Amino acid sequence: IFIATSAIRPRADVAYCIHALGRRLTKTHNWTIATWKDVAAVVYAAKWLNGWECMFMVALKTLIVIHRALREGDPTFREELLNFSQRARILQLSNFKDDSSPIAWDCSAWVRTYALFLEERLECFRILKYDIEAERLPRPDQGQDKGYSRTRELDSEELLTQLPALQQLLHRLIGCRPEGAAIGNYVIQYALALVLKESFKIYCAINDGIINLVDKFFEMPRHEAVNALDVYKRAGQQANSLSDFYEVCKGLELARNFQFPVLREPPQSFLATMEEYIREAPRVVSVPTEP
C-alpha cells in the first residue's frame, strides 16, 4: 500500500487505493454485515481471535492502515485523502455500532472516536499546512532541554489560527480513551499506541504556542486578546484531561517503553492579569481614508 500510494505512482493509483479503503469502511459501518469473504480473510490473519472480534477488526484494521499511511507513507497519500474527503467523508463512522453485546458496544464506540481523531487530523493539516507529526524539532540551543515547535515563532494572527486547531485535535485524541471491554482488546491497544505517540508532539506544539501567546498577549488589540484568553483557558483544562488520559495509558502494556512528557498547566494566577488587560486593551477601529 505504501508503494502504491507513493509519489512515483500515478495519482489515479493513489486515488484508487483511497477509494478501496473507503469502500471497505462503508461495508463495515455495522460489523454484523461484513461478508464471509471478509471474515475468512481476517480469520486467516488472526486465528487466535473470536468470531465477533474478527468482524470488528475489518473496520479497525482499515483505520489503522489509513493512520499508518498518514504517519509513515508518502505525503501524496495525505494530499489525495484530503481531496477525497472534501467530496466524501471517508472517515465518517458515526453510524458504526453494534449493540448485540456489551463487548461489541464498547469496541464499536472506540472505533467511532478513533475515526473522529483521524478526521480531525486531516482538518488540522488543512489549517496548519503541515503535518504536526512529521515536524522535526530543531536542535536545542545550549542550555535548553529540547528544541521548539514552530508555534514558538508564529505571529499573533497565525497563533490564533493554529492553536485552536491543535487544541481541537488534542480534544479528539483525548476522546480515544478506551472504556470497558475496549481496554483489553489487543488490536485497539495497537491503534491506541499510534494515537499516544502523536499526543507528544501535539502537546509540545500547544505548549510552545502558549508560551509564545503569553509573550505577545499584552501587545494585542482587544479582539485578539479575547480569543487568546480563551485559548489560554482551554490549555489549562486540556492539561488536566491529558494527564488523566496518560494515567490510563500508563497501566497498559503498550506504554511500557514510552517516555511521557511532563505536563505543565498554565498558571491560573495569570488569568486575572490577562482579564484586566482585556478591559483596558486598545480597540482597533477602521477609519475610512479620503481619496
10-residue mean pLDDT series, the chain (291 residues): 89 90 73 42 41 62 94 91 84 70 76 93 94 74 65 94 97 93 88 94 94 93 93 93 92 85 82 88 60 56
C-beta separation of 70 from 121 below 8 A? yes
- pLDDT tens per residue across span 268-285: 778 888 988 998 876 654
Report d(CA 23, CA 20) in Å as an integer: 5
- What pLDDT is recorded for position 280? 82
DSSP 55-97: HHHHHHHHHHHHHHHHHHS-HHHHHHHHHHHHHS-TT--TT--
- What pLDDT is recorded for position 58? 81
What is the set of domains in the chain, with CATH numbers?
A: 38-134+148-278 (1.20.58.150)
DSSP letter at 91?
A: T
- What pLDDT is recorded for position 259? 87
Evaluate the CA torsion angle 32, 37, 38, 40 in order and state its sign.
Answer: positive
> How many Cα atoms are found within 13 Å in the side-chain-facing hemisphere of 212?
21
DSSP letter at 33?
A: G
Taking phi first (over 0 means left), then psi (-120 to 50 degrees means alpha), and beta for anything else, what does residue 183 get?
alpha
DSSP 196-262: HHHHHHHHHHHHHHHHHHHHHHTTS-HHHHHHHHHHHHHHHHHHHHHHHHHHHHHTSGGGTT--PPP
| Other CB atoms within 10 A of residue 101 CB | 11
- pLDDT tens per residue across span 247-266: 999 888 888 888 888 888 77
> How many Cα atoms are found within 13 Å in the side-chain-facing hemisphere of 157?
0
What's this model's pTM, rounded to 2 decimal places? Answer: 0.84
DSSP letter at 90?
A: T
